[in-house]
Amino acid sequence: MASTTTCTRFTDEYQLFEELGKGAFSVVRRCMKIPTGQEYAAKIINTKKLSARDHQKLEREARICRLLKHPNIGEEIFSDILNDICYVYCMNLQ
């Protein structure tokens, strides 16, 4: 089961690379978990732009992601509270 990790900086554990795609409130970027070298796609959401309803949708999406059990879905969901950014999930790219 996926777990939630709250940290002050996502970039303490992951190195971010190029943009893979984007939407109205989020961007997907390739990243690498520094200790393991494993590559992922991270969905990064700027929560400053979200309405109260959008926050509810984000919380629902995060809850659903925590329930997913698949080898290509990472187990960590980060929230970078200081910068109003939420990294919803990481999908394995390798």
Residue length of the chain = 94
The reported pTM is 0.72
Q: Is 43 one of the annotated binding-site residues?
A: yes
**Cα dist from 86 to 1, 12, 22, whole Å:** 19, 14, 14
Q: Using one digit for the tens of pLDDT, what is the confidence trace for 42-54?
A: 888 888 878 889 8
> What are the pLDDT digits (tens) for 3-18?
444 444 677 888 999 9
Q: Is the pLDDT of residue 89 over 70?
A: no
Does residue 90 contact residue 4 with C-beta atoms inside 8 Å? no
- Looking at residue 76, its amino acid is E
Q: End-to-end CA distance of the chain, in Å?
A: 20
> Domains of the chain, with CATH numbers?
3-92 (3.30.200.20)
